[in-house]
Structure 1
């Protein structure tokens, strides 16, 4: 099991504050609540606030796309978990910048844990890479994440707030299975031609965030990956097998590109294998799902999606 109960240094401040409290944020919230901590989260609408309150998370009204609304941020949270994505367009992340600007001296957190993406490295042609690999983003989506990391780094240096970045690949688990793809019979590239991709189970990602808030070295980057890369084709085949569905048809990679969306194409063209030893060693994690086989073994007991 993931070591979320290991002794950790006490968290100072008034609970934790989650910005971007979607699926992963709510999983992190459950871990923090189990540890006895007060959890607050930013909510951009009454509907979002209702979902948060139902889990015992205190909803703080505010919309990252409207900076004037960010005037009720909680004071001195022990940890600020920032999970909100950048906008879909542009070269930077004005949402993150707005949040950081709104953090008055009385509201500075004890630490920031930021989720980024492994796409910042670009295409590494299937090589194993560690966190000191230079970033070389190929897409605007990845460039926005590089810009966001730099914004956080500069702000942290100016205000003395420690930060930790988790670079995350594909996330899988309950509610995230690609069953629609498989049921629709959408093709996949022939496995011999399919580039490498990486993934992590949603529960292990939440545990990594929880551990990073306590044991992550300030200013450090971690690969939040299970350390067992495979291919998209292999992943879809094994999910299909686990759910007793026909495997999708395989086609030549050149044919697959003709129907692939720009987002999917950018994902597949960034071939790399993520080394996760720093994550395991620094944070003391024992992943609950250290590979796809262990994640799929639990699939039948979880709601498909």
Structure 2
């Protein structure tokens, strides 16, 4: 049987998953809003659909699996806003549905630990929107939904090295601040493991084993490059965009036991050090 993944908002994490599934003879249909991106998807072996715009119902009819990467906007979840009834009517058709959420749904825990059972108390507008979207997807009867709460994503093309080299990286110090993060390759491996072992209703935190202060990551990137670390800047007085500053409103350490115990995932990059070493090696090799 041919498996067909319909990927809404086919972006960075979905592309990493595609690199696992395509060699296994999956058919992957990915939506994008951009003609330029559609061309890039086609070059990757993805069947692109400009959406909203194109009639997506034929793709929905053939899909055995759904992946939703599209973020909620002011009107809520964009996929459900357009296709709630159509997806609900086909709920029994799908073998697996994955929704990519964020650890921001947990809110601020003053550097304490959270896991999948922690109450959702988001403190940002983005976090509230994600909780609303998770709830809306989970409310569809008989949908084999799996929710993945992703920590800060990094990987090829999304590492700190360019800013460190350019001298634009900041080593911002906020007392007690820690973030969890995850390499995109490990996100893809978690999604593939879940597809292989569906457990409808499951929620998974996707992150590495080493929550760390952001300034430590920048300092280590500079060390790998043989450059001095950027000077320390105090969070209260440094210039930051409102978006960047909002990320510092929450501090927590995210547990990832479930992806290991239930899905059997062995992280390729269990901490930022191994991840950054690999990224730099790839850059040099390229």
The normalised TM-score by structure 1 is 0.85
The question of whether the paired residues in 2 share the 8 Å contact of 1:194 and 1:253 is answered with no
Extract unaligned runs of 5+ from structure 2: none
Query: Partner residue of 1:4?
Result: none
Root-mean-square deviation (CA, aligned residues, Å) is 2.3
Q: Distance in 1 between matches of 2:28 and 2:262?
A: 25
The question of whether the paired residues in 2 share the 8 Å contact of 1:201 and 1:289 is answered with yes
The normalised TM-score by structure 2 is 0.90
Q: Is 1:20 the equivalent of 2:9?
A: yes
Q: Distance in 1 between matches of 2:257 and 2:61?
A: 35
Q: CA deviation at 1:218?
A: 1.2
Query: Partner residue of 1:7?
Result: none
The question of whether the paired residues in 1 share the 8 Å contact of 2:111 and 2:176 is answered with no
User: Could you give the per-residue CA deviations for residues 167-192 of structure 1, whole angstroms, max 9, x where no partner exists?
Assistant: 0111112100123543334532337x
Aligned length: 283
Extract unaligned runs of 5+ from structure 1: 1-11
The question of whether the paired residues in 2 share the 8 Å contact of 1:167 and 1:223 is answered with yes
Query: Partner residue of 2:85?
Result: 101
SS of structure 2 residue aligned to 1:16: strand
Q: CA deviation at 1:60?
A: 2.9
User: Could you give the per-residue CA deviations for residues 93-144 of structure 1, whole angstroms, max 9, x where no partner exists?
Assistant: 2344324334374584222111100011110011111111001111111111
Q: Distance in 2 between matches of 1:225 and 1:149?
A: 19
- Bigger drift between 19-28 and 222-231 goes to 19-28
Query: Partner residue of 1:75?
Result: 61
SS of structure 2 residue aligned to 1:174: coil
Q: Distance in 1 between matches of 2:65 and 2:222?
A: 39
SS of structure 1 residue aligned to 2:59: coil
Query: Partner residue of 1:3?
Result: none
Alignment of 1:250-289 (within 5 A): 250-256=232-238, 259-289=239-269
SS of structure 2 residue aligned to 1:132: coil
Query: Partner residue of 2:119?
Result: 134
